[in-house]
Amino acid sequence: MTIFSAVKRIAVLGSGNGSNFEALHSEFGDQICLVISDRPGSGILKKAEAVGVSAITEKSGPELNARILARLQDIDLVCLAGFMRMVKEPFLSAFEKRILNIHPSLLPRFPGQEAWKQALDAGEDETGCTVHFVDAGIDTGEMILQERVPILENDTAESLHRRIQQAEHRIYPEALRRVIATLPHES
């Protein structure tokens, strides 16, 4: 008899506070089994350690992508959550369609850094967030899920980013659930 399991081993990569890590961990628990950050002492590492998830620093520098890949031997899926480094070869090909990213705009609008500020400065009346697969471009991979966020008249960059992050914490777990549902089950 074959026993099927939908349980996956998921790594989260981040450089910042780790609020998206928290949102994913609270939904997926032990399936989130590894956190890697390029920033020693970053919030994401502290949050991971606080809940008993293995937390590793890989500082930026030569062969960053190869060093990260070497840490992912038994990992099924990778979630970028505020990871401020480009994902490159050999990491990209080894995890084709298995690396997700959360971006704080309605892609393809406003790729790149501080996308909420870009939307505010452009005078938009709405923005949002996007979960997408990672490819070699900057925030260009196939989209999985988006949520719209209105821009209010008295919004500051901080208040807008805060509301976008609330939306991020809703759609990232949902997008990950959808991707897991498409993966082959292990026996």
User: What is the strand order of the sheet 143-150 is part of?
Assistant: 54-57, 32-37, 10-14, 77-80, 99-103, 126-133, 143-150
**103 catalytic, yes or no?**
yes
Query: Considering the complex, what minimum distance in angstroms separates the CB of residue 156 from ligand GAR?
Result: 15
74 versus 142: smaller Cβ distance to ligand GAR: 142
Place of tokens 């704080």: 104
70 versus 157: smaller Cβ distance to ligand GAR: 157
Query: Considering the complex, what minimum distance in angstroms separates the CB of residue 97 from ligand GAR?
Result: 19
57 versus 185: smaller Cβ distance to ligand GAR: 57
- Angle at which helices 43-50 and 19-28 cross, to 10°: 30
Query: Considering the complex, what minimum distance in angstroms separates the CB of residue 119 from ligand GAR?
Result: 12
Burial of 5 (0-12, 13-18, 19+ CB in 10 A): exposed
Instruction: Give the side-chain half-sphere CA count within 13 A for 166.
Output: 8
Query: Considering the complex, what minimum distance in angstroms separates the CB of residue 23 from ligand GAR?
Result: 8
Residue nearest to ligand GAR (CB): 82
Q: How far is CA 44 from the centre of its chain?
A: 12
- Pick from 187, 184, 3, 186: nearest CA to 98: 184
3 versus 124: smaller Cβ distance to ligand GAR: 124
Positions touching ligand GAR (CB under 6 A) are 14, 16-20, 44, 81-82, 102-104, 115, 165, 168
Question: Which residues form the catalytic set?
Answer: 103
